[in-house]
Structure 1
């Protein structure tokens, strides 16, 4: 008859079943031959103690194993110890295979659901998951980016800082918050942080402070799409202000023209151009604001930093007094972040996969229903399928062990020639963002 448990270190004695669980009585099949602590002392029986351990569910029901576990005392060192049961986990009242099962399932089930399934406390599930992630973090090392991006995603109601490798378009890390208290110690302890040369970010002052304090060698570049968006926001602010005083029918029409007015002027053709010009005729200030928006966006059409800065000075001088309040946020940003904004022309980098990042935020939030942030982060960063497109195999030259020496003349014995060998190294840069976005959209993580 097949043993119910099918564990090498245990023998099933009895199986009891009710509607809620299986109760298995078992005994160990191994014993100590010598004290494993002092390696010399003779062991003798010192009673026994009933212990219970959870095992993997069977037929959809939790399994609890009871064992009358023998206890020994060493005549040499005087220590007491229980008989060995190799299939028990060393840290918890559970079998090793149940712990392995929980590790796997925490990537697909909530802690609460898994706790009900295996009849363990939810805290135990979390601790097993935390140990699992800790092992991953010790084993899986993503190479620190040369060009690093800091973006943010709103996941489970909070803004989180997403650290990316801009050159490789991969996720390097996802932090639980974008707060200074979290980011400062993180970047201070970052491995190989001296390799970071550039950091792209939006104009969140905390990011700037953290980079200045922890990565003094790195130059900051403001993501051009963030500063350009402020020009669109200024135009939007004016459009909404104008709408408020219009009759209902015209107010609805202008509401529907949002995307028309946000279009670049060179994309306005035919009917679109005619409609835009009609609005500008009725509301000249709207036309002026649209021209200012276009003038600001055209700064990034210039090839050199000097040309772009000159164009910006010209643009600032053309803002009429009546529109200065509308563009105040943008002009303040230009003054306060001038160096970082125009550093783009020294190193034209952005968090350019905006569409993928936006999709990540949407799909992560959908996945986040019932999951903790820690689970989402681990699933994004450490799932093998998500990481595979961020792997690069590099061929490097390394020195052979031990130089080759000549020994037929004393003078030549001091001359050494070192052989070089080509070695392939697997380098992980993190999960590739377009692949990650696709997997999320396809429901792979659900």
Structure 2
């Protein structure tokens, strides 16, 4: 009562029929049919089990943890049958390492909502999902990283979808190429020298010039004078980043060509690898400039961080539980969803639209300690 544990002791009379001698016991309609608990308590657990850790809810209600898990599993089965989210026009696909394996996370990038989480990221697992996807012709854009099985999985089944490689996965390779040059220099230093400068030089060179403080700008000039090779690598990293700063696709393509042609023949090996990667995914990378509002997978990456955090808090949650806590977060599901008239629908019959949990709302809940 009022979320305080209460134990009920009930005397149930039994009656014997004077005619047939059968014994009957009256039904207690307020009790759950499957558990030694009231329906009210089970309903309270159902309302809270996907928004709290099982152990915290068990302490609050006085119900065993395993009972909480069983109630949650029943709720998940019910939600699987009843909850349907709108198919995204702009879809984000990424992976997250969760409960011992890589899972596939799918988001709605047009509305910044969670859409689905698949148990595995293999083609054998993803292709049947896209084949059975409702309204799959609605998908116009898909944003992923450069892992080819993603494209192979969705392209046969999403006839109107065009792939755009996520910007941040591409520029990340430029940062990693620069960091590789830093490590080469540091390998020539003594142990004490490496400990002293490792962190400061790394973060200094990974920053964009516009984000440097006056003191850091001066420090970077010192690095250029003392380690000219690292200064050159920094400039190539920045030249690559500026490709994405260009608002015009044709100009950005020319900037990439100029960047590649200026690379030294026998140095900066990782930057040459980056150029090769861009050529291998050329059309999909430069589709970024064709996409609406130049889409990225940033919110999908944020969601992955939230999923990992929930997994740590839960200490051993199964994939199924983490998936349910992510997909069916009650408060975040309300944002952006509702009843409205959809294009092409009967104007007299409003349609209920639900897009899935709103990722920015999930972030706010996490910051308030409520995304468990």
TM over 0.5: yes
Shift of 1:362: 5.0
Residues 370-409 of structure 1: pairs in structure 2 closer than 5 A: 370-396=316-342
Q: Say which is worse superposed, 219-228 or 242-251, in terms of deviation.
A: 242-251
Cα–Cα, structure 1 residues 293 and 398, in superposed 2: closer, same or farther, change >3 Å?
A: closer
Task: Identify the structure with bigger relative contact order (alpha carbons < 8 Å, sequence gap 6+).
Answer: 2
1:236 Cα deviation from its structure 2 partner: 0.5
Is residue 2:361 matched to residue 1:435?
yes
Deviation at 1:89, TM superposition (A): 5.5
More strand by share: 1
Q: Is 1:335 equivalent to 2:279 in the alignment?
A: yes
Aligned position for 1:51: none
Q: d(CA) in 2 for partners of 1:289 and 1:46?
A: 93
Structure 1 residues 396, 176: closer, same or farther in 2, change over 3 A?
A: closer
Deviation at 1:150, TM superposition (A): 1.0
Q: Which runs of 5+ in 2 are unaligned?
A: 1-6
Q: Give 3-state SS (helix, strand or coil) of 2:352's partner.
A: strand
Greater shift in the superposed pair: 323-332 or 373-382: 323-332
Q: Distance in 2 between matches of 1:179 and 1:187?
A: 12
Residue 299 to residue 432, structure 1, CA distance change in 2 (3 Å) = same
Higher helix share: 2
For the structure 1 residues 398 and 357, does the alpha-carbon distance in structure 2 shift closer, same or farther, using more than 3 Å as the test? closer
Aligned to 1:12: none
> Secondary structure of the equivalent of 1:257?
helix
Unaligned runs of 5+ in 1: 1-20, 32-43, 49-68, 71-82, 400-419
Quote the Cα distance in structure 1 between the aligned partners of 2:57 and 2:250.
60
Runs of 4 or more, structure 1, over 6 Å off, are none
Q: What's the CA shift for 1:232?
A: 0.3
The 1-side partners of 2:287 and 2:343 are apart by 35
Quote how far apart the aligned CAs of 1:145 are: 0.4
Give the Cα separation in 1 of the matches to 2:118 and 2:136. Answer: 16
- Which structure has the larger Rg over C-alpha atoms? 1
SS in 2 for 1:439: helix
Measure how far apart 1:165 and its partner are: 0.6
Cα distance in 2 between the residues matched to 1:239 and 1:398: 57
DSSP-derived class of the 1:256 partner: helix
- What is the distance in 1 between the residues matched to 2:94 and 2:250? 28
The residue that corresponds to 1:256 in the other structure is 200
- 1:351 equivalent in alignment to 2:297: yes
| 1:363 corresponds to which of 306, 309, 312 | 309
SS state of the match for residue 326, structure 1? Answer: helix
CA distance in 2 between counterparts of 1:339 and 1:429 reads: 30
Query: 1:221 and 2:164 equivalent?
Result: yes
- The aligned residue for residue 132 of structure 1 is 75
8 Å CA contact 1:28–1:85 kept in 2: the answer is no
Of the three residues 159, 167, 173, the one matched with 1:230 is 173
The 1:105/1:394 distance shift into structure 2, 3 A limit, reads closer
SS of structure 1 residue aligned to 2:155:
helix
CA change 1:45–1:319 in 2 (3 A) is: farther
Q: TM-score, normalised by structure 2?
A: 0.82
Q: How many residues align?
A: 358
Judging changes above 3 Å, is the alpha-carbon distance between structure 1 residues 28 and 440 closer, same or farther for their aligned structure 2 residues?
Answer: farther
Partner of 1:272: 216
Alpha carbons 2:333, 2:357 under 8 Å: kept: yes
- Hey, what does 2:12 align to over in structure 1? 26
CA RMSD of superposed structures (Å)? 3.3
By how many angstroms is 1:127 displaced? 5.2
What pairs up with 1:186-205 in 2 under 5 angstroms?
Answer: 186-205=129-148
Give yes or no for the alignment of 1:173 onto 2:99: no
TM superposition shift of 1:258: 1.2
In structure 1, the residue corresponding to 2:120 is in which secondary structure? coil
Match of 2:3 in 1: none
Q: TM-score, normalised by structure 1?
A: 0.70
* More deviation, 92-101/151-160: 92-101
Distance verdict in 2 for CA 1:350–1:105, change over 3 Å: closer
Alignment correspondent of 1:311: 255
- 1:242 paired to 2:185: yes
- In structure 2, the CA distance between the partners of 1:270 and 1:110, relative to structure 1 (3 Å rule), is closer
The Cα shift of 1:325 comes to 2.0
